Chain A
Amino acid sequence: MEKLKLENLNEKIWNFFASVDLAVALFIVISIAAAIGTVIPQQLEPEATIRFFSKFLSMDTSLKIHDIVSLLDLNNVYHSWWFTFLLFMFALNLIVCSIDRLPNLLKSYKLLPQALSMKVLESMPLKRQLILSDVSNLKEKVSETLERKGFYVIFFETPEGIQLHAKKWSKTRLAVYLTHFSILVILAGALLGTFFGFRGHMNIVEGTALDFIISDEGKTIPLDFQILCEKFEVEYYENSAVPKAFRSYLKILEKDKPMMINGKETVILEVNEPFSYKGFNFYQASYGFQPTEHAEFRFTFFHDNNKKIPINVKFEEKVRIPNSSVLFSVIDFSPALGIDEEGRLFNMTTDMINPAVLVEFEAQGKKTQQWILKKIPQTWETPYGKLRFDELWGAQFTGLQVRKDPGVPLIYFGSILLCIGLFVSLFLRPMNYFVIIDKNKVIFYSPTLKGKVTIEKELNEIIKKLKGEEK
């Protein structure tokens, strides 16, 4: 008695996890939870939550709500224990449901087909009957018409006449399980990434190298190699502050020696074009302005015979212009020089949209000043020759996103399975007809009403063909 009860309970639990009701309930609950996460700010600082709620409610209520929010992890929904639990239930549901149903389906493929009784046929939801006057080779005609439509046809002799089973795409039922399996693969990949992977970032200033990553949780992760940023540049669309592209020129250093990557020492990293080294993936993510000690202004001086002489100077460092006694130095810099309505100069942003330097010349004790703009050739002309401002090097950092995630191959594999599974199960639906041929009478039965319009359309076509051949 006890044992029976226990078995009964076991069965109940099993059926609960195998049920589509649980699946549907999980769809709804996970959706609502996920939606909440897009509305309440997902930031752990209490200020963020309180600020959000105080927009609609009084301060006191907001403070109280914050307590509830942090108790239920509503400010960290996607990483909360209960959301993880929901996803776990989802996975369990998928697994149990497949174990519950798949063996029966596989068994049904192995079963030898048998003639059905009239009672079963008559209980089918769709029935079409037609009477033909020409009865010669009727069996061949019907089966040929069905076979031409891609059906697989078998016959039985029954007292009511010839019974004919026509099947198409019956194996595509398996695709549903492929779809479910693919979701499990994706979840497994995500799990693998959570436990054995990490994400972080590196901000490397032009001209320097770093050998550690700051993870998203704020931890420092040392690398056994260094990444050197030789140069960083942003390209802008013409006459616009919209960046067209930004890229870093990087070198990987192992014990201070540059490594060859794809046959080259320098890697050019751009948005949408990541590169990987030793299992780490590097992405061009951001950039910023950060002047440093080693920053230098790079100029090109055009000598009389158009010989180009590069000149690099530090801030306020005095340098002699070649073949002259004139000294020049950089006394001001603007990354984005603009002119306001009253003609005054001002700096727009720290992005290098329109880099400009204020240069001071010193000739025989006389001082003159001039703005030289990188993008405006007219400003390169000075009383002492043509001086082009090329760049300020060493004043920007490149922001790299770094990731190590062993789950990614599983994610890609699962995604491919998901697409195949969905396409097969939704576009190639199994079709079944049962036909009774009794002298000049042909009766079609369909065991399902799913896609009734399509079935009726197809039956009409088949009937038209049978009748058409008669004429």
Chain B
Amino acid sequence: MSYQIISIAGLLYIIAMPLYIIYLLTKKDKIGYSATAALCIGILIHLFGFIQRFKEMYDINHSIIRSIPITNLYESLVFFVLCLVIGYLILEWKYGKKGFGVIVSIIAGIAIGLTELLGITKEVQPLVPALKSNWLLAHVTLSFISYAAFAISFVAGLFHILMISENRKSFKYILSTTILALMFFLILSVIIDMATRANQNSLKIFHSTLGNSSPFVVILSWSALIAFIFVFWRWGEVIVRIFTEFKIDANLLEDITYKGIAFGFPLFTIGGLVFGAIWADQAWGRYWGWDPKETWSLITWFVYAFYLHAKFIRGWSGAKTSIIAVVGFLVTIFTYLGVNLFLSGLHSYGSM
């Protein structure tokens, strides 16, 4: 089955994370290459799985355009990871820097982990009539490519904030180290959740840590989380030092933050908002209806419009703009996952 193949790719992405960390700490080129190799092999397996899934869907739908596997939450998460890792590998190849491979592999790992832990179906499902449209391909692929671009700008923006913060008391420093700590905790929790699962049905996010039935484990997990935040806060400069040693400077990070948004924003506008509106117009008879998904897409759009105006008209630079980029991606995540999990609306194909 295609999802088993994709799980193997997910495993490789998770393996890439410690490899990148070891590389950054030891500076041994061989380990750096093996980390990149893990991602590259992961992508090849992922693409193979993607094609397998396409074939499985084609057997049901008999239409090439409508068999691209991007029709439910599982497939979209997987497609997001595919775009993210490919985007990162292009960046690594272009700039020759492996600095934030760690965080990219963490995001990829969390996304693949969520497909296991949210209890969503991984089976190939037949298309419901509303999704039978050629706009599906254009709308969904462009949206997720832009999400991946926003993710890369988030990673670069986060490190940019950390790089230029003056001391441990500054808001920038606390913000960036806390988010990094939360991401490390989340990926570890996801890994432990998957490693300790008794059976498929008992799977739930945080079931082995913050949401465990034993109060002891819960207290331990919370303490671990706080310890993570403290450790990142206390030794955050180590990251700055390592980045400096690898000649990743604040300017480069700011530039990548901007490029991610400059690339993602037009794609999001055309694919997410415009194509979405056209499709809604054809399927539901209205181009805009303040559905939660539509509304949150507009909010995402406003946040990134804010970024561009602050940068180009107001002449903001440095931490202020990068914080907007970080907030922008958090809003993007809510638009993508939060709306499906917490709010109801017409985009229910993406729910569980």
Contacts and interface: CB of A to CB of B under 8 A. Distances in A.
B197 interface: no
A272 B133 CA distance: 6
Interface stretch (B42-50, B80-88, B304-312): B304-312
Interface in A349-374: none
A450 to B, nearest CB: 7
A78 B303 contact: no
B349 to A, nearest CB: 12
B296 interface: yes
A378 B251 CA distance: 75
A28 B306 contact: yes
B299 A34 contact: yes
A454 to B, nearest CB: 7
B285 A415 contact: no
Interface stretch (B198-206, B220-228, B258-266): B258-266
Given A34-B295, A34-B299, A426 B262 contact: yes
Interface string A12-49: 00000000110110011011001101110010000000
A245 B133 CA distance: 12
Contacts of A403: 285-286
B285 A402 contact: yes
Interface string B259-302: 00011011001100010011001111111101010011011001
A112 interface: no
Contact of B285 (A237, A243, A274): A274
B326 to A, nearest CB: 16
Interface residues of A, number: 51
B195 interface: no
B52 to A, nearest CB: 21
B130 A272 contact: yes
B132 A37 contact: no
Given A244-B126, A272-B132, A419 B266 contact: yes
Interface string A42-71: 100000000000000000000000000000
A38 B314 contact: no
Contacts of B278: 412, 415
Contacts of A270: 129
B89 interface: no
Nearest to B95: A453
B217 interface: no
Nearest to B304: A27
Greatest chain A CB density within 10 A among B266, B284, B285, B343 is at B285
Contacts of A20: 309, 313-314
A96 interface: no
A4 interface: no
Interface in A224-246: 237, 240, 242-246
A419 B282 contact: no
A272 B266 contact: no
A422 B285 contact: no
A453 B283 contact: no
Interface in A397-423: 401-403, 408, 411-412, 415, 418-419, 422-423
Nearest to A426: B262
B255 interface: yes
Contacts of A281: 285
B219 interface: no
Contacts of A418: 269, 274
Nearest to B290: A78
B343 A272 contact: no
Contact of A415 (B130, B266, B274, B313): B274
Interface in B237-271: 251-252, 255, 258, 262-263, 265-266, 269-270
A280 to B, nearest CB: 10
A427 interface: yes
Contacts of A21: 314
A451 interface: yes
A245 B290 contact: no
B296 A243 contact: no
A245 B270 CA distance: 28
A242 B121 CA distance: 15
Contact of B284 (A30, A244, A285): A285
B277 A415 contact: yes
A74 to B, nearest CB: 14
A31 B330 CA distance: 14
A78 B290 CA distance: 7
Interface in A428-471: 449-454
A35 to B, nearest CB: 6
Interface in A166-205: 190, 199
A283 interface: yes
A418 B277 CA distance: 13
Contacts of A415: 274, 277-278
B263 to A, nearest CB: 8
A37 B295 contact: yes
Nearest to B299: A31
B305 A27 contact: yes
Greatest chain B CB density within 10 A among A27, A28, A408 is at A27
17 contacts: A20-B309, A27-B302, A31-B298, A31-B299, A34-B295, A35-B295, A38-B339, A244-B127, A245-B129, A271-B132, A271-B283, A274-B285, A285-B285, A449-B317, A452-B251, A453-B251, A454-B255
Given A28-B306, A427-B262, 6 more contacts: A271-B129, A272-B129, A272-B282, A408-B281, A426-B308, A454-B255
**Chain A to chain B: the 4 pairs with minimum beta-carbon distance, closest first:** A453-B255, A271-B129, A283-B285, A401-B285
Interface of B: 60, 125-130, 132-133, 251-252, 255, 258, 262-263, 265-266, 269-270, 274, 277-278, 281-288, 290, 292, 295-296, 298-299, 302-303, 305-306, 308-314, 317, 339, 343
